[in-house]
Amino acid sequence: MTVSVFTSRVILDVLGVEDFGIYNIVGGFVAMFSLLSGTLTAASQRFMSYELGRAKSDISKVFSTSLSIHLMLAALIFILLESAGVWFLNYKMNIAPDRLVAANWVFQCSILTFCVNLISIPYNASIIAYEKMTIFAYISVFEAVAKLGIVYLLLLFNFDKLILYAFLTLLVAIVLRCVYGFYCKYKFRECRFYFIKDKELYREMLGFSGWNFIGSSANVLNSHGINILINIFFGVALNAARGIAEQINTTLNSFVLNFMMALNPQITKNFASGDYDNMNVLIIKGAKYSFFLFWLLSLPILLETDIVLKIWLVQVPEYTSILVRYALIYTMCQILSQTLYAAMLATGKIKEYQIIVGTLSLMAFPTAYIFFFLGLPAQYGYISSILFSLFCLLARMYLLRRMVPNFSWYIYFKEVICRIVLVVVLSIILLLILRSFMCLGGIAMLISTILSSLFFSIICIYFVGLNISERQFVLAVVRKSIKKRF
């Protein structure tokens, strides 16, 4: 997170608002095609975790089938992007003519980066299924060092910074792909590719992916699709502002994603082994803990967004502050549904779920278009996503009661939604009362906000967000840690 904060500041300063916006919108356009890969990513992780949860498993067959599908998909997307994608970039996007050449270089590097990452998915899914999370920590350290290297090279070479940045990002993706591949090849004997002729497995994985396509396409349209709408209605300057907002959001959300990365295989394995009670416990606790983790990190930024941006960035694009706040609120709404989504994937019964929830989620994109067409400002893109995210949460709670044995939407609502709402309201009220007595400004105000928000949030989480057994567990862990140290 620290490296990301530093590199984002320097990259925005080196590239400038216009080039940073171009990179954000062009790379985002390529990422729109990730709706195809996103469906297979979920399928790969689900099928591998499910196989490991069974008494008799054949994960090598699942791995080879998954890799075959991803190779074919990479070739298909490459052809689509090199034809229709190049035409759309040059004739439909709102980019200055003198930067079209650089934008095309960025587009080509983004295509290759996307294809490389797409082929890496079965390897990453294997690591997650086996729950070897240590390798992600090591590779994350390496990736952080590589990002620092990119910043240094941007400052060192007198070349078109936008093109150089895109090329170096591609280079890092290739190196990471090789690292993941070598690790899986020598760590897991199942991760050796061989051609599979099992048509039933192909049909099952593709069928699962086909229905999951609806949900994945909705997620992509709600992020990259709305980003393109912002480019069409407002220009690249607003794309730069949204890019900064998404970087802050993604950096904070990485903690939650890594937490869920470790939790999701357990949910799937419990379902495969028939341990539904423990699965339901994980659904509830995972939702609460992931939200509280994000809340601890995001509350100070929500309150002091302007100060954070002024300290962090050399130049702050217009509208960045308000977009940051809405981006964080949208992610909070999404976090409430993460474990519900993982449970749905574990069941494999996703047809009805994706028809209802996926359709609801898809409505955020046309709603955002209507908002922009009526002349409303850029933050209404997030407002549209927040609104339908809440609708989807209610639909997920209703549908999952029939998909997962012993799941109770009432218990989820009481233990997760109600406790989270109380924690949020109480911690904000207490913090605002304290701030009313403060006469600080600048960095001093930011530091005091961080410390006081952490204190009040932790107090509220412990006494309101956790139930009695969870508080007892926390106390036991603290006592054990103190005893071990002293």
What is the residue-wise DSSP string for 248-305?
HHHHHHHHHHHHHHHHHHHHHHHHHHT-HHHHHHHHHHHHHHHHHHHHHHHHHHHHSH
At residue 284, the pLDDT reads: 93
d(C-alpha 42, C-alpha 50), whole Å: 12
Cβ atoms of 350 and 409 within 8 Å: the answer is no
Q: Residues 369, 449: one domain?
A: no
Q: For residues 457 and 471, what is the distance between their CA atoms, to the nearest angstrom?
A: 15
What backbone torsions phi and psi does residue 158 show, to the nearest 5 degrees? -95, 70
Last residue of a domain, one of 407, 442, 473: 407
Same domain, 224 and 287: yes
- Domain range for residue 452? 413-486
Pair (440, 361) in one structural domain: no
Do 431 and 376 share a structural domain?
Answer: no
Mean pLDDT of the 65-93 span? 81
Assess whether 365 and 349 both reside in one domain. Answer: yes
- Average confidence (pLDDT) over 385-397: 92
Same structural domain, 69 and 205? yes
* Lookup: tokens for 345: 């994937």
Q: 83 and 69: one domain?
A: yes
* Domain shared by 53 and 148, yes or no: yes
CA distance 486 to 479: 10
pLDDT range class, residue 57, cuts 50, 70, 90? low
Higher pLDDT pick, 149 / 419 = 419
CA distances from 263 to 89, 326, 349 (A): 39, 27, 20
CA distance 448 to 438: 9
Structure tokens at 316: 């702050």
pLDDT at residue 335 is higher than 90: yes
- Residue 38: its pLDDT value, please? 54
User: 309 and 168 in one domain?
Assistant: yes
Residue 17 near residue 317, CB atoms below 8 Å: yes
Same domain, 417 and 402: no
Distance CA 36, CA 146 (A): 28
Q: Which of 361, 377, 407 is a domain's end point?
A: 407
pTM of the entire structure?
0.74
For residue range 344-378, what is the model confidence (pLDDT) as tens digits?
888 877 778 878 888 888 899 999 999 999 999 99
End-to-end CA distance of the chain: 31
State how many domains the chain has. 2
Which of 407, 440, 456 terminates a domain? The answer is 407
Q: How far apart are CA 139 and CA 86, in angstroms?
A: 33
Residues 223 and 153 in one domain: yes
Mean of per-residue pLDDT scores for the chain: 82
Is 140 found in the same domain as 6? yes
